[in-house]
Structure 1
Amino acid sequence: MSISLPSDFQSRMKTQLGETEYELFEKAINQDSKTSIRTNPDKSSQAPEDSEQIPWAQNGYFLNERPSFTLDPSFHAGAYYVQEASSMFIDHILRSLQVPKELFLDLSAAPGGKSTLLSSYLGKDGFLVANEVIQSRAQILKENIIKWGLGNTLVSNNDPEHFEPLEGFFDLVLVDAPCSGEGMFRKDPQARNEWSPDHVTLCASRQKRIMDRAGSLVAASGYLIYSTCTFNEQENEEMIEFLTSEFSYKPVRIPLDPNWNIRETQVETEDGTFYGYRFYPHLVDGEGFFVTVMQRPDDAYILPPGKIKDYKHPFLKEVSPKDSNSIDEELGFPLSGQYYQLNDSYFRIESEWKAYFEKLTQHLSIRYFGVEIGKKQKNDWIPSHEWALSTLPKNGFQVVNLEKDQALEFLRKNDPVIENMPTGWIMVTYNSLPLGWIKNLGNRINNYYPKEWRIRIQD
Structure 2
Amino acid sequence: MAKSDKRIVLPAAFCELMQQWMGAEAGLLFHALASPPTRGLRITKSKATPGYVPNVLLPHLNAAIPWAPDGYYIHLNAPLGKTVLHEAGAYYLQEPSAMAIAIAVAPQTGERILDLCAAPGGKTTYVASLLSRAGGGQLIANEIHPTRVRALAENVERVGANAAIVNETPDRLAETWSASFDAVLVDAPCSGEGMFRKDPEAVREWQAASPERCQIRQRDILKSAVQLLKPGGRLIYSTCTFNPMENEQIVAWLLDSFPLAIEPLPEWPGWSCGRPEWGSDRPELVGTRRLWPHLAHGEGHFVARLRLAEDASPRTTRVRGTRSAKGPRDWSTWLHSMVTDPPPSFVQPRLHKDIVFSDELAGLPTDGLRILRPGCPVATWKNGQFAPHHALSRALPAHAFLSSTELDEERAMTYLRGEALDNPSNLRGFVHLTYAGYGLGFAKGAPSRLNNLYPKGLRSAYLEPLERPD
CA spacing shift, 1:31–1:298, aligned 2, 3 Å: same
User: Cα deviations across residues 24-69 of structure 1 (Å, max 9, x unaligned)?
Assistant: 2122111112211111112243245143111111211112454222
Q: What amino acid is aligned across from residue 385 of structure 1 in structure 2?
A: H
Partner of 1:253: 264
Please, which moves more after superposition, 197-206 or 288-297? 197-206
- 2:164 aligned with 1:154, yes or no? yes
Q: Do residues 116 (structure 1) and 121 (structure 2) align?
A: no
Q: Partner residue of 2:244? A: 233
Letter in 2 for 1:293: R
SS of residue matched to 1:190: helix
CA distance 1:79–1:458, shift in 2 (3 Å): closer
Secondary structure of residue in 1 paired with 2:151: helix
Residues 379 and 387 in structure 2, CA contact (< 8 A), matched pair in contact too: yes
> Whole-Å Cα distance in 2 between the matches of residues 364 and 400 of structure 1?
40
Q: Residue type matched to 2:127 in 1?
A: L
Aligned pairs for 1:92-107 (under 5 A) are: 92-95=103-106, 101-107=110-116
Q: Is the 8 A contact 1:104 1:128 kept in 2?
A: yes
Greater Cα offset, 178-187 or 443-452 = 443-452
Other-structure match for 1:27: 31
How far is 1:445 from its partner? 6.0
Aligned to 1:389: 394
Unaligned runs of 5+ in 1: none
Distance apart, 1:101 and its partner CA: 4.6
Which deviates further from its counterpart, 131-140 or 374-383?
A: 374-383
> Offset of 1:81 from its aligned partner?
1.2
Q: Which moved more, 1:267-276 or 1:234-243?
A: 267-276
In the superposition, relative to structure 1, how do residues 242 and 386 fare at CA in structure 2: closer, same or farther (>3 Å)?
same
Show CA shifts across 1:125-162 (max 9, x none): 211110000111111111111223243x1110111121
Is contact 1:388-1:394 (8 Å) kept? Answer: no
Give the direction of change, closer, same or farther, for the CA distance of 1:376–1:298 in structure 2 (3 Å limit): same
1:273 offset after TM fit, Å?
Answer: 3.0
Q: State yes or no: 1:348 paired with 2:358.
A: yes
- Aligned equivalents of 1:130, 1:417: Cα separation in 2: 39
Contact conserved, 2:271 with 2:296, CA < 8 A, in 1?
yes
- Whether the 8 Å CA contact 1:307–1:355 is kept in 2: the answer is no
The question of whether the paired residues in 1 share the 8 Å contact of 2:143 and 2:166 is answered with yes
Secondary structure at the residue paired with 1:349? coil
Identity of aligned residues (%): 31
Identify the residue that residue 169 of structure 1 maps to in structure 2.
Answer: 180
Residues 423 and 450 of structure 2 are in contact (CA less than 8 Å); yes or no, is this contact kept in structure 1? no
2:454 match: 449
* 2:358 maps to 1:362: no
Q: Is the 8 A contact 1:71 1:408 kept in 2?
A: no
> Does 2:341 match 1:334?
yes
Q: Partners of 2:317 and 2:427 in 1: how far apart? A: 48
Question: In 2 relative to 1, CA 304–427 (structure 1 residues): closer, same or farther, beyond 3 Å?
Answer: farther
Per-residue CA deviations over 1:151-182 (Å, capped at 9, x if unaligned) read 3x111011112112222111101100111111
Deviation at 1:243, TM superposition (A): 2.0
| Preserved contact between residue 430 and residue 445 of structure 2 (Cα < 8 Å) | yes
Deviation at 1:88, TM superposition (A): 1.5
Query: CA 1:103–1:117 in structure 2 vs 1: closer, same or farther (change >3 Å)?
Result: same
**Aligned match for 1:436, one of 435, 441, 445:** 441
Map of 2:326 onto structure 1: 318
Deviation by residue 1:390-441 (Cα, 9 ceiling, x = unmatched)? 11665443x3432323322322334456767645433322112110123355
CA contact (8 A) 2:350 2:374 kept: no
**What displacement does 1:99 show?**
5.2
2:36 is matched by which residue type in structure 1? D
Letter in 2 for 1:282: H
